[in-house]
Amino acid sequence: MTMKRKKLDVVIVGGGMIGLSLAIRLAQQNRRVMVLERHSQPELSEELALRVSALNDRSRSVLKDCGAWPLVQEHRSGPYQSMQVWDKDSPAHIEFSAKEINAEDLGAIVENNVVEHFLWQRAEQAGVEILQTQQWTMVHGGDESHPAEIEVGEWLLSADLIIGADGGRSKVRQYAELPISFWDYGQQGIVANIRTEQPHNGVARQVFLPTGPLALLPTPDSHTVSIVWSADEALARNLLNEPAERFAKQVETESGRVLGGCECVSDIKAFPLRMQYARQWYQHRIVLAGDAAHTIHPLAGQGANLGFGDVKALTEKLEGVDLSSLAQLHRSLSTYQRERKADTQLMIAAMETFKRGFGTANPVVKGLRALAFALPNKLTFLKRKLAEVALG
């Protein structure tokens, strides 16, 4: 069979939120961009989806630049004005609000598939080609005199840059043999939508339990929260086997009835939790972004924000660069890697400190954390800092 050849500037593997955002921003730089994605465009639904992200200011500014944020807002989003974090077994608690830093909100809860739907629409309008395919083969990683090549069906795609935005099990990363560090938390992230007796009032809440944190994230419906319960494996198995009524009762009890009675109004799903990050983010004409480069504990809903940080940094570093020149490309990718690795490692360290500080029953640690968390609640400048971190 004779291969059909197609020359592009950039091929992006993965058409999720990060891959599609990158595609739009690079197309806006007049690059010829193609996205390879296994699934079709997500459809909009009246029902709230289970997979959500808490987007900070930086992430929303990326979506604005893509022309997608107004569409997401118009369809459905849940801005939150304050956060409450507390420990079930000690007096440790923090509260901070957008008002304390003169902001409208601290972030917005969005459904991943809603964001992807509108990014897909904007990508096509920007001239990005989206090729749905289950199978592709990397033929050549590229070098100074040779573009990277990917075989898809009858097509041989050649590009000056391949971006792996294909998730935590990235095939692009595996092909490029980019090394990763990882550890398994021995936990499952359990997600469900819960109808509550009392309104959430735009407050994102998180309670630390001995078995793992439980987050109650405000949705656009004032009496529905999206929960993410990071539960140890044994507890996760028990929770998943329980009827919906008993599961909702557990959420109600463990959250200290902070929103009154609870009722489950969705399926209950789970996904394994692990932390990983690439020790090297690029090789030849291949670079990683989003979960392909890093996945973190969903403690503060920061995974998507790290990914949108990659989008912003990578597109800025590639602006005006001659991608055919490997020397120019590598200078840009080196700066991108240095900047984003630092941000990622800082976030991983913060999540680990938070998780280990709260996720222990050691009485000495419990006493210290109660003391430590009482301080920020009284010290305005520290609370401002925490709120600014939340805003990104």
Q: What does 108-141 look like in DSSP terms, one character per residue?
A: EEEEHHHHHHHHHHHHHHTT-EEEE-S--EEEE-
Q: Same domain for 223 and 346?
A: no
Q: Same domain for 232 and 165?
A: no
Tokens 């991608």 — which residue?
Answer: 323
CATH number at residue 199: 3.30.9.10
Is the separation of the CB atoms in 102 and 384 below 8 Å? Answer: no
First to last CA, the chain: 51
Is the separation of the CB atoms in 285 and 345 below 8 Å? Answer: no
pTM beyond 0.85: yes
Q: Same domain for 196 and 231?
A: yes
Residue 25 lies in domain: 4-45+112-182+275-353
Q: Does residue 50 form part of some domain?
A: no
Q: Does residue 56 form part of some domain?
A: no
State the Cα–Cα distance between residues 362 and 236, nearest whole angstrom: 23
**Nearest Cα to 297, choosing from 348, 346, 369?**
348
Q: Same domain for 248 and 214?
A: yes
- The SS3 call for residue 304 is helix
Q: Which spans in 33-111 are helix H?
A: 57-65, 69-75
Q: Does residue 62 form part of some domain?
A: no
Q: Does residue 280 form part of some domain?
A: yes
Q: Does residue 53 form part of some domain?
A: no
Q: Same domain for 254 and 194?
A: yes
State the Cα–Cα distance between residues 55 and 66, nearest whole angstrom: 15
Q: Which spans in 140-263 are helix H?
A: 171-176, 233-241, 244-254
Q: Same domain for 40 and 122?
A: yes
State the Cα–Cα distance between residues 156 and 114, nearest whole angstrom: 32
Determine the pLDDT at residue 365.
47
**Nearest Cα to 169, choosing from 276, 31, 303?**
276
**Nearest Cα to 41, choosing from 72, 20, 23?**
20
Q: Does residue 57 form part of some domain?
A: no
Q: Same domain for 82 and 223?
A: yes
- The pLDDT profile of the chain, 392 residues, written as one tens digit per residue, is 678 999 999 999 999 999 999 999 999 999 999 999 999 999 999 899 988 999 999 999 999 999 999 999 999 999 999 988 888 877 667 787 888 778 889 899 999 999 999 999 999 999 999 999 999 999 988 888 899 999 999 999 999 999 999 999 999 999 999 999 988 878 899 999 999 999 999 999 988 888 888 999 999 999 999 999 988 899 999 999 999 999 999 999 999 999 999 999 999 999 888 889 899 999 999 999 999 999 887 655 678 999 999 999 999 999 999 999 999 999 999 999 999 998 888 877 766 665 555 555 555 445 544 545 555 555 555 555 555 555 44
CATH number at residue 37: 3.50.50.60
State the Cα–Cα distance between residues 267 and 191, nearest whole angstrom: 8
Q: Does residue 340 form part of some domain?
A: yes
Give Cα separations from 319 to 77, 97, 314, 332, 349 (angstroms): 31, 36, 9, 9, 31
Task: Indicate left, alpha or beta for 128 from its phi (over 0: left) and psi (-120 to 50: alpha).
Answer: beta
Q: Same domain for 117 and 177?
A: yes
State the Cα–Cα distance between residues 306 and 290, nearest whole angstrom: 7
Q: Does residue 55 form part of some domain?
A: no
Q: Into how many domains does the chain fold?
A: 2
Q: Same domain for 372 and 225?
A: yes
Q: Same domain for 296 and 264?
A: no
Q: Same domain for 148 and 20?
A: yes
Identify the H or E element spanning 210. none
Q: Same domain for 338 and 230?
A: no
- The SS3 call for residue 118 is helix
